[in-house]
Amino acid sequence: MESHYVQFFTATILKWKPIFFNQLYRTIVLDSLNFLVEAKRMKVYGFVIMPNHIHIIWQVQEGHELKNVQRDFMKYTSQQIQKDLRTNHPDLHHEFEVNLKDRKYQLWQRNPLSINLYGRNVIEQKLEYIHNNPVQGKWMLSNEPANYSYSSASFYERDENRFPFLTHYMEYFGH
């Protein structure tokens, strides 16, 4: 039986294409997280949706396997986004064409990062990292983490619960 540690998960769009500037595609990711939480397949402790990648701090729930939950999340979001790309943005959809035996198009880069987080300090470090992502580097998407709409920063900094799928990470420690 696999252990169900809190994990840091990162997935990147193929060729680092910044498709998450599109509101619909961010909503697809959020809806998928909400579905997985409501189905009691995982808990989500934190997240950020950047223009070309996502970071999630999550924990697969008992009775489910990480590989299956991760696969279902990636497959569903990919299919839904590609459906819209095909219909409304065919030129951009063409850029996700691949020459693979099992698919003609690929949205996510293969082998997303998924690492176990051991201990409160490591979870807090990763939360700080993902929450600061939008205010750093080339993106400068917000002047402060809690002002960025597509992250869990305001949940922790302002006690705003705009995302019903979020669970406070301290619940993992029984608080």
Overall size of the chain counted in residues: 175
Give the side-chain half-sphere CA count within 13 A for 113: 11
Cα separation, 11 vs 54, whole angstroms: 5
Taking the chain (175 residues) in consecutive chunks of 10 residues, what is each chunk's mean pLDDT? 80 97 97 98 98 97 94 96 97 93 92 93 97 92 96 97 96 87
Q: What is the pLDDT of residue 102?
A: 87
Contact predicate 81/49, CB 8 Å: no
Q: What is the pLDDT of residue 1?
A: 38
**Residue ranges of the domains in the chain?**
7-173
Contact predicate 14/106, CB 8 Å: yes
Q: What is the pLDDT of residue 3?
A: 60
Cα separation, 21 vs 161, whole angstroms: 22
Cα separation, 175 vs 162, whole angstroms: 21
Q: What is the pLDDT of residue 137?
A: 81
Q: Residue 108 phi/psi, 5° resolution?
A: -90, 145
How far is Cα of residue 17 from the mean position of the Cα atoms in its chain? Answer: 16
**Second-level CATH architecture of 7-173:** 2-Layer Sandwich (3.30)
Q: What is the pLDDT of residue 141?
A: 95
pTM over 0.75: yes
